[in-house]
Chain A
Amino acid sequence: MRYLPQTEEDIAEMLEVAGAADLEGLFSSIPDACRRRTDLNLPGPLTEWELNDAMSSMASAMGACHECKVYIGAGSYEHYIPASVSYLLGRSEFSTSYTPYQPEISQGTLQAVFEYQSFVASLLGMEVANASLYDGASALAEALLMAARVSRLKKVAVSSLIHPFHRRVVRTYLEPAGFEIVELPGGPDGRTDLGKLRSVEGFAAVAVQSPNFFGCIEDLAAVGNLTRDSHALFVASFTEPLAYGLYKSPGGFGADIVCGEGQSFGIPQSYGGPGLGMFASLKKHVRSMPGRLVGETTDMDGRRGFVLTLATREQHIRREKATSNICTNSGLCAVTSAMYMASLGGTGLRELARLNYDKSEYLKKQLRGAGFAIPFASPTFNEFVVRFPAGFESTYERLQEQRVVAGIPLAAYYPELSGHYLLCVTETKSKRDLDALAGMLKV
């Protein structure tokens, strides 16, 4: 086997040093009653070429190909990834290293993550960002746990227009520890109805997502007004960070924690993971933050260098009193997103965000023109809700035969929205694609 260099000769000599008669003899410390009696019943081994055939055949059974036109967003977005980013990511000095515990030989990762933290903080309008969490869903759960630590309260208000899967993860994280979760309903304009929340007294946090699950931009100023001068932390989440290339970021509205999914920035969709949990907060809360942080310092010769810092928050030092149990995070995805942001630059990010907005507005206009309803009036970014007439399911199914997926039906997540679909348009769709889609939907 090409990954196993030891020859029979090596093995014989090494066994002698180890004092074992044969390979089985190395396991003499395992009691007989604990030994496995059966061989591993696994297929293979396959040659590299057989493996290529098997994998390519399974990959071709997926709705992801050059001809496929998928208009789904809902927490995972199709964006162009420059060849330079994929190429740099292949630098195995980045990918085959461990968490940078030995800073002298990890400066590449450390500086790249420091730059990532800087970019994310700036993008979200916050003072500090961590080195990443698993994904947007766990980032939101960690944000609420952090708000509970800061406020010493165990009740949180969560908008029902936050991604339904992210809310489900929040429940998994919070319920065993005895948290109370109050869901805020959606209003007729597609934004969170804050009316029910007259006072935030007793709440650890108020969490909204913007753009929300319907693609609508939330009234973040209103949330900021509610939480200002209270114990409650304002948690703003997102699934499409590109929106902040165009729209104001949550930091400017008084958010205490901003967190979300960063997959949009150069990370392949990969059927949902790995993603990137972006997480930023105000500096005054930094010692309550979960996850790793990279900080700048100097070496013994006075040169600039970077290290993991504020580790006294973390599990390997604090054990059960740590701010989180997280150890391995999404380091390489964080570096990828920084490579992507650097490639776009400030100017490119604004332009690309605007292009996403304009293209989705174009499809909105075409669909409205075709007689379909756009039920929510609030401004959106690159996805929006459409109400199709009864019987649309068969059109939706028929388009799939042509490898066109016209968004996702919302009724599974919001039973009151039967006939409503969430559609997403990014820069990967041309005007021709959009005209064709509008034409196909009309039939």
Chain B
Amino acid sequence: MNEFGGTTGLILEEPLLTEKGKKGRMGMSLPRRDIERAPMDETLKGEGPRLPDLSEVEVVRHYTRLSTWNFGVDTGLYPLGSCTMKYNPKTNERQAALTGFAGAHPLLPEKLSQGALKIMYELERFLAEITGMDSVSLQPSAGAHGEFAGMLVFHAYHKSKGSNRTKIIVPDTAHGTNPASAALCGFSPVNVKSNERGVLSPEAIAAVMDEQTAGIMVTNPNTLGFFEENIKEIAEIVHARGGLVYADGANMNAVMGIVSMGDIGIDVLHLNLHKTFSTPHGGGGPGAGPVCVKRHLERFLPVPRVVEQGGRYRLSYDFPHSIGKLHAFYGNVGIMIRAYSYILSLGPELKRVSQLAVLNANYVKEKLKDTLHLPYDRPCMHECVFSDKLQAPLKVTTLDMVKRLIDYGFHPPTIYFPLVVHGAIMIEPTETESREEIDRFIRAFKEVVKEAGEDPERLHKAPHSTKVRRLDETAAARNPRLTCF
């Protein structure tokens, strides 16, 4: 048996749904018609969509076949840097699927909503405890939505002070959503470079922070996998000039129980429940991006807020300074229930989660640093960033190497990000991988690099054993075909 997971097998073809079916088939049991047809205005009647008619078997087989063309965390190691693709516990799915939660209408009267409201209230308290922040709103639907909420809080805060600040400091290592979220609130990003240690220096911030600047957005730990060690000093500079400090908490998995964000000068922070708190990413969502603030900004949080009084919970809109509403109802409650279930399953052991996540990343860094170029050779947090510099003379790129890694049965790391490292390879193993699995990944990467020297062509054409091979993205964009009709 091949030591690695990647092998070839029977891959079944499956056409598009619209290429299947026959008129008159049905894949769902229609409820009994116990009522006669009511009259209706025929001129308003439409044609209905052009959906194929399929039997239940056809639908089940279609999606089952499609699913086998996918790679998930349940399939194998998924070391996608800054995405924290940890194992998604199955008990969380059970809890979210309980009829009382899954079947609950969001406008149920309060007395019939106590279970969900209690979970939301307690989850807010748990997240406040984990981050060291004072107040939390669970309403944002994803990380970028949480960032947007945070920027709205910045905007409302400065407006309440009668100042109209138009700029925001964003480091070059930031995720693209940071500047995009700031722009939605009318802020223009001012780019600052990280220093030779891969972190922000107080001098660089002091040079740009002024009275027209609303504050700074820092990802901490940053996307190079380093703790922003000057964060306290930076926060002091920003605060002294009337600004606020926003932390992107996408990488919180490194520091639970290790760093209290509320104590190091952070005013606003968002979390990703679909990263740190183990909820599944769903092939692109849904996630949840709670926004956490210090006491002085609590009045700006989105409405409604969950309020507790004598053991009873209710939703309140009575917060006149609130930035408003961000979600049609209260946010992605189904995701909150999963995260709540995860936190209760681990409790104070969440600190160990962070310790092991950091251990695994440093282990990978040490084991691969003779194989791949390591631009910043220093201890990392939960992820480490390499580059393809050593393979460049062989005309083998980061893309070639990670595509070949697929053939060995591993999902590629995050690539070409952060932008400050040319040809970046960003590896985040997470704490849920065993040492044996991590060792196999390391050996696979070494094999790939060996192949780069022996047969670069094999890498240029990789992957070889997948459902499809490299796809023509240029053609897709030049003449977009976005539907099958």
Per-position binary interface string of chain B over residues 45-84, scored 1 when its CB falls under 8 Å from any chain A CB and 0 otherwise: 1111111111010011011101111111111001010010
Task: Give the contact stretch, choosing among A161-169, A183-191, A196-204, A226-234.
Answer: A161-169
Q: Contacts A247-B46, A331-B282, A331-B285: A315 and B180 contacting too (C-beta < 8 A)?
A: yes
- Asked, given contacts A271-B116, A328-B287, whether A309 binds B473 with beta carbons under 8 Å apart, the answer is yes
The answer to whether A168 touches B325 (Cβ under 8 A) is: yes
- Contact (Cβ within 8 A) A341 B51: yes
Q: Are B176 and A163 in contact (CB under 8 A)?
A: no
Interface contact A357-B99, CB-CB below 8 Å: no
Interchain CB contact (< 8 A) of B485 among A100, A111, A122:
A122
Whether the Cβ atoms of A62 and B114 lie closer than 8 Å is yes
Interface-located stretch among A20-28, A368-376, A384-392: A20-28
A317 touches B476 (CB 8 A): no
Complex CA gap A56/B24 in Å reads 41
Chain B: number of interface residues, binned into ranges: 35 or more
Which chain B residue has the least Cβ–Cβ distance from A312?
B477
Residues of chain A within 8 A (CB-CB) of B87 are 3
Asked if B296 is at the interface (CB within 8 A of a chain A CB), the reply is no
Does A270 count as interface, using CB distance less than 8 angstroms?
yes
Report B86-129 CB contacts with A as 1/0, cut-off 8 Å: 11110101111111111111111101111110110000001001
Docked complex Cα distance between A90 and B88 (Å): 12
> Which A residue's beta carbon lies closest to that of B282?
A332
A33, A62, A80, A103: the one contacting B115 at CB < 8 Å is: A62
Residue of A nearest to B149 (CB): A172
A residues less than 8 Å from B281 (CB atoms): 95-99, 328
Inter-chain contact A1/B16, CB cutoff 8 Å: no
Partner of A270, one of B104, B108, B345: B104
Q: B213-236: which residues lie under 8 A (CB-CB) from chain A?
A: 226-227, 229, 231-232
Q: Does the CB pair B34–A430 fall under 8 Å?
A: yes
In the complex, what residues of A have CB within 8 A of residue B94's CB?
Answer: 52
| Distance from A318 Cβ to chain B, minimum over Cβ atoms (Å) | 8
Q: How far is the CA of A400 from the CA of B359 in the complex (A)?
A: 54
Tell me, in angstroms, the Cα distance from A60 to B112 when the chains sit together: 9
Chain A: interface residue total (CB-CB under 8 A): 207
How many Å from the CB of A39 to the closest CB on chain B? 6
Q: Of the listed stretches B389-397, B450-458, B462-470, name the one at the interface; the rest are far from the partner chain.
A: B462-470
8 A–B pairs (Cβ distance < 8 Å), ordered by A = A14-B435, A45-B348, A97-B282, A98-B85, A104-B468, A113-B283, A272-B331, A332-B282
Q: Which residues of A contact B69 (CB under 8 A)?
A: 105-108, 111
- Residues in chain B near residue A88, CB distance under 8 A: 59-60, 63-64, 67
The reply to whether A354 and B37 contact each other, CB–CB distance below 8 Å, is: yes
Contact partner, A105, options B89, B144, B411, Cβ 8 Å: B411
- Asked if A15 contacts B286 (CB within 8 A), the reply is no
For B175, the chain A residues whose CB sits under 8 A away are: 316, 327
| CB nearest to B116 among chain A residues | A271
Residue of A nearest to B189 (CB): A320
Contact A91 B64 (CB under 8 A): yes
Q: Given the complex, which residues of A lie within 8 Å of B67, measured CB to CB?
A: 88, 91, 93-94, 108
B324-354: which residues lie under 8 A (CB-CB) from chain A? 324-335, 337, 341, 343-353
Q: How far is the CA of A117 from the CA of B78 in the complex (A)?
A: 27
Q: Are B53 and A348 in contact (CB under 8 A)?
A: yes
